[in-house]
Structure 1
């Protein structure tokens, strides 16, 4: 599986054809041009390509001149697009339980998405943050707006539909629409070009009871999720490879960080990879080899810069690795790529 093929439930596109039609287009024809069938979005067990879905959102926003498309999509959704996960969320005891459940089982909706509660990135001890991210290491701006907007929508709904005390929002890209549109959507200040995509909220919110929650129904839903779904449905090695490929530089994820992104214990991740006949270091080496070949043959970066880019400590390490992978030196590999056939 290439990272462009990581799946996401087709329900993510619910309401998009109608929205496009209201904007003056033909929603069903627009989806069909990308290989999507509007009827597919209503099927509870249908999946589409995550990367193709992101391209669809970006093109729709551009073509129909609606820069806040992701926010509009989030505002019109309810929990039911999450499929079986929705029952567990609606019947959680507290908001904190609902967030923990989402972190555990978001892969049921898509193995390409991740959500976790983290310490406040601004250092306030009375504040926590809900971090939303793509496990592929990349995400389009519209899909980030849609995803974090959905997190905001879910927290609002499990909190009874009212304001839950959102302190501020951080987004990793420049504003796609006027900043006032973002403030109106979230009801809070929004910071752009941040390191993370996250919602900052009061710590005490985790203990707020979910109105109408039924512990028995929640336990039944969790048992169903645990027994019917698993990371085994998507090769774990493919997910790890996608994460590593999307994280270049000296601070690329180690085993513990990748396990956290996938909501797995590091030993569980190791066992899952072993069951597929591969080790974590093997995948690191595979991804690094592909990145080195591309950087050497398609860029003019110095070899020391390339070494840093792929997480090697020094240029001599790069030279040894290139000889092991390709049986030649970095300079000869670059020269061979530039020589005419």
Structure 2
């Protein structure tokens, strides 16, 4: 089983502590870095996560451990993919984004639409799992399938028409517990983990999402799809580069887009020898140079586009960046184009 973003462990510490367990000790025994319990961005072995969930359920005598963890999670743990999903026009678009970019959260994992396992013409299945028949542990399935159900309920603002929850293992808790949480009948020891939903669900509108926000999220996801292991500084710059002139460029705004806290974002940047201010400065410099040398926009408009007050401020920045004025940079660029 391949790596998973540590965001998948959100809620594990809370549930273990609520059950009077020692989450750090349990994580170490399972081979999970302790830091992964509190940090969304660390790669963790899927097998180690499974071991942690199963051992915690057993040691704490909590058969519904995975279900409890799912109740502590939300869509935000998917980071920029969550932003794209929340602003998708329809469920079909959301599933398309998920199919294309879920590997950024969990390598090799997938959500797929499948024919209804019971043969009903008005129903389809949303299959949760690995496509190559890799078997997930019961606690992992319970956690993931309930998270998927809650995410769909959130996107559709309540009841989305779940028919049954198909679960491939015997019940870990009582049937009543599963049916209470899923709000529908649960069936066990089925061939795959599937939520059976109305056949028209993929065509339903999700809501009035913001097109610019969706496009920004998709651009960011696409840039990361070809460079999934890029340093955080590159991710931050990609967001800033497409927010300049169109949205906020504060550390809080960028951290929120990446589903991180501002403190966590700054700490990870520091680990890479960077600061948020330096990355923002780089993004501004690159945008300014492109606009100065490839357009005839007024200097004041270029300054405003990159978040500076006026043309005079742009020229002060230009002297720091290039040792000359913004006007001179423009003239040099014009000469090169001729």
**Within-5 A mapping of 1:1-341:** 3=1, 6-135=2-131, 137-160=134-157, 162-230=158-226
SS state at 2:44 partner: strand
1:236-262 Cα shifts (integer Å, max 9, x gaps): xxxxxxxxxxxxxxxxxxxxxxxxxxx
Secondary structure class of the residue paired with 1:52: helix
Give the C-alpha shift of residue 32 in structure 1: 3.3
Question: Any unmatched runs of 5+ in structure 1?
Answer: 234-341
Aligned to 2:323: none
Deviations 1:213-236 (A, max 9, x none): 112211221121111124876xxx
> Is the contact between residue 17 and residue 31 of structure 1 (CA under 8 Å) also seen in structure 2?
no
Aligned equivalents of 1:143 and 1:41: distance in 2? 16
Distance 1:212 1:72, change over 3 A: farther
RMSD: 2.0
Count the aligned residue pairs.
229
Q: For the residues of structure 1 that align with 2:142 and 2:209, how far apart are their CA atoms?
A: 28
Asked if structure 2 preserves the Cα contact closer than 8 Å seen for 1:50 and 1:112, the reply is: no
- Deviations 1:32-66 (Å, cap 9, x if unpaired)? 33343454344343111100100100000001111
CA positional deviation for 1:126: 1.2
- What secondary structure, in the 3-state scheme, does the structure 2 residue paired with 1:132 have? strand
3-state SS of paired residue (1:116):
strand
Stretches of structure 2 that go unaligned for 5 or more consecutive residues are: 230-338
Q: TM-score if structure 2 supplies the norm length?
A: 0.64
Distance 2:30 2:40 in 1: 20
Larger Rg: 2
